[in-house]
């Protein structure tokens, strides 16, 4: 079967998002019918379990979110956590969102090492258990000290040392935790002999305690990298500590503010000093390879020598235990130990997703010796001795290559550990724009370029200035060299940090995110078919990440937009067809798929996408801060900088499920992003009427623009953020003035006043409908707001839009005076049909919803879904034949429609 035409897939994609939230109440009279009619009892517990098997492992702790139905729990409710066996687990609780009546909507909960050993938990109202150890925080003018009861860390508020020291039982395990940046000033292709390297060090501008325990403490440290008089590359680092834990977590964010033609990052790292107290033969180095494989060595080895010190000595060294008194060794070894070399330096470099190399040397100035290699390293290591040492790890090590681990001077008094987020052995980070503009200097020329490569180019807009990237690191302060099994557990915690998660049933019962989802349902053949197809398509994209190597520091977490059937390759090098940058909301497809299923593999895929799209595809500094970039060859390449990409609607599920502070920052930063319309007109190239942005008359669309603004305002309001009152007022005033337009949402755009937060009500009706308007979170926002805000006029305006997009042109003209013109994505809009049918108990509209879903323009029943299996070796071969199934990620929007169809009810064929 040949590939589906691109336009068909554009339509199909609108559908996946559509069906996932589409049918939850068709044929059931009311949108609320998808959840049990009874009001949950106040003491009904939430079911919580680990996302992946294995429990907490070696991690410090876990933080998770729980959703609650409206009106059930008052804002001051306390909660207790118990295991399936009834054992109490200490838990720290805080509120992340409230319903408008003040009752709890989302709560966050933190557990420490006392949660280890249990797989399932219940969370219910009650008094939380008291921990055997609690985390405490004390502050002075320049320092913050965190004591977990096991380790003690001192964090600086200024200077260059983020973490001054980490001690355990009075023994210093690590000191001088700091940030390192290597800059290269020029990049001559093919000859870097004259390239100048400069070292910049992190300089703190401030630190604040965000949580103080008793189970979890959080410290945020901000600053820039400095050398001499120049400071650049802002950083924001959060440090997480859990009561009783021997480890801590670091979430590290950098924001690029350099000149893409001059400021090439050669290396970017986090560095610690590790005191080395033990004899060289009692010092150990452990570096994880792939899976459970480890380099297991001593700084001065006693194994493999020509003379044997004795089996007990050799065995102890391999285990990392203190060696017996040298007087008990074979003296032919003891008297010659000065001739056994000490190996002080180790490097593991992962320069691609498919290979790492490990080497070592005795000291600077001496040759490097290969020490092994493999495909994908875990990004984990240890250096220390029998009296203590530091384990360290960098998450997504090979996925976000080029990365590197360095150990230096392990044979001296102090070893140095560097976790390189960008390896200095790789090519310099090159963020220059990829072409010279090709003469596209005017809007007409740029529109012509758009018509051939689908890239919306504009000089000066292809800039990385203001994009960001977040990395996660973990550290353990060990009292002694860890055992082999402990090291394996620590490395596993780095690769996949243990995550507690509430059950899909509890999420459905709470009716969060507009109640637009239901648990996976295979109760009938038709429903089972839909679920199987959802699984098929998720597996397809997961396999494409691997087959096409969609990895790398800036790229990991994104997928591609469109496939080139002739080359059997995604169009990675063709204008706007390359990286997807959230086009048509694959983020939402993934999150709703997780909310319905609770599947770990979907959660991790969505997590990586959320980290990427919220950081790399969005500007955080400069003129366009608060806007995202449309799809393209580089994530920042396209000149369309819009709210539809930066929208908080993509971040909300991850934030509320994990309480991740960094993602919370990203959403809060968008509250004032209505100001960006002063700086940039989203449709400047296609306007036919005169328009100059004015503070009191900004042209803002009711679709992709307003949905992004509304998502930020709603999130700030329900979180009770510092601008919550403003956010709520903006929501209500814009909802009211959209509803007041002559044609409601169909009017398309309005003139917005930044000071009043209101749209001017037009005097004449206009039809301004786009097939994209509802494809970037508008459906989700309207469903949530209608449920939260009693505003019948707004609900009526939205239901009209839902009813008429898929209506006939004659019906559209009869209602609005003219039809909507040429449209796409009818299958994707089937969920609007379904929503309106459910709200109004309209059987005929429900039947149209099914017809548009099943037989219009996307993933329809006519497709050959079992043409080629996704699994198996063939999936990793170039030209994999089943690529016909989706050559464009716009088809992903159809996946949400499919997910909603799991609840089509009486209108779903048997």
pLDDT tens string 560-616: 998 887 888 899 999 999 999 999 999 999 999 999 999 999 999 999 999 999 999
Alpha carbon distance 822, 770 (integer Å): 9
590-593, Cβ contacts within 8 angstroms, sequence gap of 24 or more: 590/538, 591/650, 591/653, 591/654, 592/17, 592/20, 592/21, 592/513, 592/516, 592/517, 592/896, 592/899, 593/20, 593/534, 593/538, 593/895, 593/899
Mean pLDDT of 862-880: 50
H or E element: which one contains 266? Answer: strand 264-275
More confident residue, 152 or 5: 152
- pLDDT band for position 864 (50/70/90)? low
User: How many C-beta neighbours within 10 Å does residue 130 have?
Assistant: 9
Whole-number pLDDT of residue 29: 32
Q: Both tokens of residue 237?
A: 């680092």
**Residue 332 CB partners (closer than 8 Å, separation 6+):** 307
- pLDDT band for position 194 (50/70/90)? low
**Residue 633 CB partners (closer than 8 Å, separation 6+):** 434, 455, 572, 573, 574, 575, 578, 579
Mean pLDDT of 8-20: 37
Q: Both tokens of residue 791?
A: 């505003």
Question: What are the helix (H) ranges across 720-763?
Answer: 724-739
User: How many C-beta neighbours within 10 Å does residue 186 have?
Assistant: 12
- pLDDT band for position 783 (50/70/90)? very high
Q: Coil, strand, or helix at residue 25?
A: coil
The residue assigned the tokens 């997961």 is 542
Ramachandran class of 820: left when φ > 0, alpha when ψ lies in -120 to 50, beta otherwise: alpha
Q: Are 576 and 632 in contact (CB under 8 A)?
A: yes
Alpha carbon distance 851, 26 (integer Å): 13
Kindly state the DSSP code that residue 276 receives in the 8-state scheme.
-
Q: Is the pLDDT of residue 507 over 70?
A: yes
Whole-number pLDDT of residue 193: 56
The lowest-confidence range among 36-50, 413-427, 448-462, 761-775 is 36-50
Q: How confident is the model over 879-901, as pLDDT tens digits?
A: 343 333 343 444 444 444 545 54
Mean pLDDT of 253-268: 97
- pLDDT band for position 131 (50/70/90)? confident
Q: What is the DSSP string of 623-682?
A: TTTT-EE-SBSSTT--S-EEHHHH-GGGTHHHHHHH--HHHHHHHHTTTTGGGHHHH--T
Mean pLDDT of 291-318: 96
Q: How confident is the model over 305-356, as pLDDT tens digits?
A: 999 999 999 999 999 999 999 999 999 999 999 999 999 999 999 999 999 9
The residue assigned the tokens 């969370």 is 123
The lowest-confidence range among 299-313, 427-441, 490-504, 845-859 is 845-859
Alpha carbon distance 254, 223 (integer Å): 10
Alpha carbon distance 843, 292 (integer Å): 57
Would you mind telling me the total number of residues written for the chain in this entry? 910
Helix count and strand count (H, E) for the chain: 21, 35
Whole-number pLDDT of residue 907: 53
Q: Is the pLDDT of residue 18 over 70?
A: no
Whole-number pLDDT of residue 631: 97
H or E element: which one contains 382? Answer: strand 380-385
Whole-number pLDDT of residue 885: 38
Alpha carbon distance 202, 385 (integer Å): 29
User: How many C-beta neighbours within 10 Å does residue 357 have?
Assistant: 17
Kindly state the DSSP code that residue 756 receives in the 8-state scheme.
T
Q: Is the pLDDT of residue 56 over 80?
A: yes
User: What average pLDDT does the chain have?
Assistant: 90
Q: How confident is the model over 96-108, as pLDDT tens digits?
A: 999 999 999 999 9
Can the peptide bond before residue 670 be classed as cis, meaning omega within 30 degrees of 0? no
Can the peptide bond before residue 214 be classed as cis, meaning omega within 30 degrees of 0? yes
Q: Both tokens of residue 431?
A: 């963020």
Bridge partners, residue 653, by sequence: none
The residue assigned the tokens 């009869």 is 814
Alpha carbon distance 162, 186 (integer Å): 30
- pLDDT band for position 866 (50/70/90)? low
What percent of the chain is predicted at pLDDT more than 90? 79
Q: Is the pLDDT of residue 908 over 80?
A: no
Whole-number pLDDT of residue 43: 58
- CA–CA distance from 342 to each of 282, 286, 295, 296, 902 (Å)? 11, 15, 16, 15, 64
Q: Is the pLDDT of residue 230 over 50?
A: yes
Q: Is the pLDDT of residue 36 over 90?
A: no
- pLDDT band for position 189 (50/70/90)? low
Alpha carbon distance 629, 572 (integer Å): 16
Q: Both tokens of residue 687?
A: 């306007």
Q: Are 814 and 745 in contact (CB under 8 A)?
A: no
């Amino acid at each position: 079967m040949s590939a589906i035409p691109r336009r068909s897939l554009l339509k199909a994609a609108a559908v996946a998002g559509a069906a996932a939230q589409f049918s939850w109440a068709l044929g059931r009279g009311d949108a609320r019918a998808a959840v049990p009619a009874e009001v949950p009892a106040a003491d009904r517990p939430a079911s919580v379990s680990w996302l992946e098997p294995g429990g907490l492992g070696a991690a410090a702790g876990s933080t998770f979110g729980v959703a609650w139905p409206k009106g059930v729990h008052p804002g001051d409710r306390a909660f207790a956590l118990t295991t399936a066996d009834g054992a109490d687990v200490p838990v720290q609780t805080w509120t992340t969102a409230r319903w408008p009546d003040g009752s709890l909507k989302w709560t966050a909960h933190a557990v420490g090492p006392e949660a280890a050993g249990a797989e399932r938990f219940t969370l219910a109202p009650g008094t939380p258990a008291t921990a055997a150890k609690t985390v405490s925080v004390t502050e002075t003018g320049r320092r913050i000290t965190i004591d977990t009861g096991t380790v003690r860390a001192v964090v600086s508020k200024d200077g260059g040392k983020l973490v001054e020291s980490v001690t355990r039982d009075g023994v210093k395990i690590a000191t001088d935790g700091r940030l390192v940046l290597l800059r290269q000033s020029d990049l001559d292709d093919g000859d870097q002999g004259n390239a100048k390297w400069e070292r910049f060090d992190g300089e703190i501008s401030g630190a604040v305690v965000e949580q103080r325990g008793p189970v979890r403490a959080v410290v945020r440290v901000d600053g820039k990298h400095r050398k001499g008089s120049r400071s650049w590359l802002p950083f924001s680092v959060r440090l997480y500590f859990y009561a009783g834990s021997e480890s801590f977590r670091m979430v590290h964010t950098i924001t690029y503010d350099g000149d893409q033609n001059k400021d090439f990052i050669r290396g970017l790292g986090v560095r610690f000093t590790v005191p080395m107290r033990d004899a060289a033969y009692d010092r150990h180095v452990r570096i994880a390879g792939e899976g459970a494989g480890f380099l297991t060595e001593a700084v001065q080895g006693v194994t493999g020598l020509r003379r044997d010190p004795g089996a007990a000595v050799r065995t102890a060294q391999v285990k990392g235990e203190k060696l017996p008194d040298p007087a008990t060794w074979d003296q032919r070894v003891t008297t010659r130990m000065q001739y056994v070399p000490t190996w002080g330096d180790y490097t593991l470099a992962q320069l691609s997703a498919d290979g790492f190399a490990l080497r070592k040397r005795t000291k600077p100035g001496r040759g490097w010796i290969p020490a092994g290699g493999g495909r994908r390293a875990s990004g984990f290591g240890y250096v220390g001795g029998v009296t203590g040492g530091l384990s360290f790890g960098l998450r997504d090590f090979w996925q976000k290559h080029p990365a590197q681990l360095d150990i230096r001077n392990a044979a001296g008094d102090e070893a140095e550990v560097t976790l390189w987020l960008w390896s200095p052995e790789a090519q310099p980070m090159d963020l220059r724009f990829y072409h010279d503009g090709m003469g596209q200097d005017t809007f007409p020329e740029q529109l012509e370029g758009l018509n051939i490569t689908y890239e919306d180019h504009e000089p000066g807009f292809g800039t990385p200035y203001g994009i960001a990237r977040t990395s996660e690191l973990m550290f353990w302060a060990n009292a002694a060299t860890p055992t082999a099994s402990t090291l394996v557990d620590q490395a596993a915690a780095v690769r996949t940090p243990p995550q507690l998660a509430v059950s899909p049933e509890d999420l459905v019962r709470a009716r969060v995110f507009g109640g637009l989802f239901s648990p996976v349902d295979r109760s009938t053949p038709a429903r089972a078919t839909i679920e199987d197809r959802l699984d098929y398509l998720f597996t397809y994209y997961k396999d494409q990440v691997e087959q096409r190597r969609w990895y790398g520091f800036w790229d990991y977490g994104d997928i591609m937009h469109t496939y080139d059937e002739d080359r059997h390759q995604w169009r990675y090098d063709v204008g706007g067809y390359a990286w997807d940058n959230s086009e048509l909301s694959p983020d939402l497809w993934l999150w709703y798929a997780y909310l319905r299923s609770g599947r770990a593999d979907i959660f991790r895929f969505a997590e990586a996408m959320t980290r990427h799209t919220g950081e790399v595809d969005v500007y955080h500094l400069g003129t366009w801060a608060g806007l995202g970039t449309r799809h393209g060859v580089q994530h920042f390449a396209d000149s369309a900088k819009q709210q539809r990409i930066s929208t908080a609607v993509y971040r909300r599920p991850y934030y509320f499920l994990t309480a991740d502070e960094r993602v919370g920052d990203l959403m809060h930063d968008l509250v004032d992003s209505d100001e960006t319309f002063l700086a940039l007109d989203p449709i400047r190239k296609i306007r036919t009427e005169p328009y100059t942005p004015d503070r009191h008359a900004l042209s803002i669309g009711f679709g992709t623009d307003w949905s992004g603004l509304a998502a930020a305002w709603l999130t700030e309001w329900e979180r009770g953020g510092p601008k919550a009152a403003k956010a709520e007022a903006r929501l209500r005033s814009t909802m009211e003035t959209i509803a007041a337009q002559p044609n409601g949402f169909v009017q398309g755009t309005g003139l917005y006043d930044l000071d009043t937060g209101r749209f001017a009500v037009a005097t004449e009706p206009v039809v301004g409908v786009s097939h994209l308007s509802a494809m970037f979170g508008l459906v989700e926002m309207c469903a949530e707001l209608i449920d939260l805000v009693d505003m019948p006029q707004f609900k009526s305006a939205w239901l009209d839009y839902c009813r008429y997009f898929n209506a006939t042109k004659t019906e559209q003209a009869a209602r609005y005076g003219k039809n909507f013109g040429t449209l796409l994505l009818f299958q994707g809009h089937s969920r609007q049909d379904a929503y309106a049918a459910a709200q109004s108990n309209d059987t005929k509209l429900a039947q149209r919803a099914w017809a548009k879903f099943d037989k219009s323009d996307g993933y329809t029943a006519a497709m050959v879904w079992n043409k080629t299996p996704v699994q198996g070796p063939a999936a990793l071969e170039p030209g994999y034949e089943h690529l016909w199934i989706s050559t464009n990620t716009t088809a992903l929007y159809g996946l949400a429609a499919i997910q909603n169809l799991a609840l089509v009810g009486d209108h779903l064929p048997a």
